[in-house]
Amino acid sequence: MVKKKYYITTAIDYVNAEPHIGHAYQKIIADALARWHKLKGEEVFFLTGTDEHGKKVQKAAEKAGKTPKEFVDEVSVKFKEAWKSLDIQPNRFIRTSDADHQKIVKEFIKKCDKNGDIYKGKYEGWYCVGCEAYYTERDAPGFVCPIHKKPLEKLEEESYFFKLSKYQDFLLKLYKEHPEFVLPNSRRNEVINRVKEGLNDFSITRTSFDWGIPFPLEKGHVIYVWFDALINYYSATRKKGNEKFWPANVHLLGKDNTWFHTVYWPAMLKSAGIELPKTTFNHGFISFNGQKISKSLGNAISPKTLVEKYGADSVRYFCIRNFPFGSGDDGDFDEKVLIERHNNELANKLGNLVSRVRGLVEKNGLEKCENKLLKKLKVDKISKLIDNFELDKALNEIFAFIDICNEYVQSKKPWETKDKKVLYELVDSIKAIAILLFPFIPETSGKIAKQFDFELLLKNIDKPIKVKDIKKGEILFRKIELKDI
């Protein structure tokens, strides 16, 4: 039987600065979704990486006294290390400086040119180096970048253009016939309204700097960083064995990337004659004290620092549980709330349940029986919520069942009755809990699976737990004091 394929990507991060928790949020969600589909027995390809070209990166390298290549080599490693510390496990970490990516980008441009969609002209406009993007006065009142709050630069240079204006009708038809292409719905409505106003062709080369992929149609031009970067999702699937994963099931993106991915990207793919991805999910920002987290704003929080203080699973859990990803709304990072959730939910509810039951089983053993308790676990509802990107609500449902299990321990008092059947129901239910929590807190689920001897697969929820000796295990979560902030 051929396995179902699932291909998920994140935005690739600029390497002009080091990774922060704002970058990490998206990657944690992507890793959780990738693990969920693996639990379902699907063949998964999870892509993340770094965006390494452009004027912004060249300036950052100059400031650091390094060549652009030296600079990106050093910073890309820091992103890899940050994701590793959070137990994020992509199948490939792509870099836009990778030779195979650069080759595909040049081929892609030639396909668009063959379709009559590339022409030479002159561009004049207001540009933000931080965004690597041009703005109109409508989008940037007073010619101040809405993201970086800095004045825009007036630029004029010879450039090649992509005929985006040609694809207005195609895009509007796409949004109508495939509403799932732009999620959540609020983002799609924004995009449709803007596209209806008309589309301008966009510049795809630069001559004012040289840190980029050489443009294949004329020397002296380098490819515009956004045109180059978008193609990474496709170029990663051109390696032998990966072709089967295209088109992507979902691109996860911050809402500031929505326009590029829902307008530029599908038009580019249509021009090149390549099948479109199924969904772009455009989530909100994590803010810090009400501001978008950004190195340039001086409020970045290092993922590695948080992991060193609280552990990978606690950081992952907080980011998924505390922010409404599926709605596309923003969330505010609060270290106090992270500690409260760690103590009240992970330590008191989950950790205490596992510890108490394991201790009682070590003393009294198990007796196999029908697990009526497990019938209260809403697996189908949890599955639908995850597939609908409502991961915070899925965790709510799992922890509602953990509450039911804790109440069951209190009402049945197995420390008094020595009831081996009650303990069997609880252990079998803990197995189901650990399996469902694996996408979110994989290290903890792995520890529980080892103690109670089961494999982390969704199909094993309905497979009765083995009646055997239970291994002693460590405390899953130790309490954290608020003074540790």
Residue in 20, 56, 251, 283 annotated catalytic: 20
Catalytic residue status for 128: yes
Residue in 131, 221, 251, 405 annotated catalytic: 131
Count of Cβ atoms closer than 10 Å to residue 358 Cβ? 20
Catalytic residue status for 405: no
Catalytic residue status for 369: no
- The number of residues making up the chain comes to 485
Q: Among residues 67, 51, 174, which one has the least CA distance to residue 105? A: 51
Determine the Cα–Cα distance for residues 332 and 324; give it in Å rounded to an integer.
11
Residue whose token pair is 């072709």: 243
Residue in 78, 106, 163, 292 annotated catalytic: 292
Residue in 40, 80, 111, 148 annotated catalytic: 148
Residue-by-residue DSSP string for 360-417: HHHHH-------SGGGG--HHHHHHHHHTT-HHHHHHHHHHHHHHHHHHHHHH-HHHH
Catalytic residue status for 178: no
Categorise residue 289: left if φ over 0, alpha if ψ from -120 to 50, beta otherwise: left
Residue in 163, 295, 378, 466 annotated catalytic: 295
Catalytic residue status for 292: yes
Count of Cβ atoms closer than 10 Å to residue 232 Cβ? 24
Main-chain dihedrals φ then ψ at residue 438, nearest 5 degrees: -55, -40
Residue in 112, 128, 319, 405 annotated catalytic: 128
Determine the Cα–Cα distance for residues 371 and 375; give it in Å rounded to an integer.
8
* 59 contact partners, CB below 8 Å, separation of at least 6: 16, 129
Residue in 145, 270, 319, 393 annotated catalytic: 145
The one-letter amino acid at 156: E
Catalytic residue status for 145: yes
Residue whose token pair is 């760690």: 342
Residues 435 and 461: beta-carbon distance below 8 Å: yes
Residue in 23, 55, 56, 251 annotated catalytic: 23
Enumerate the active-site residues: 20, 23, 128, 131, 145, 148, 292, 295
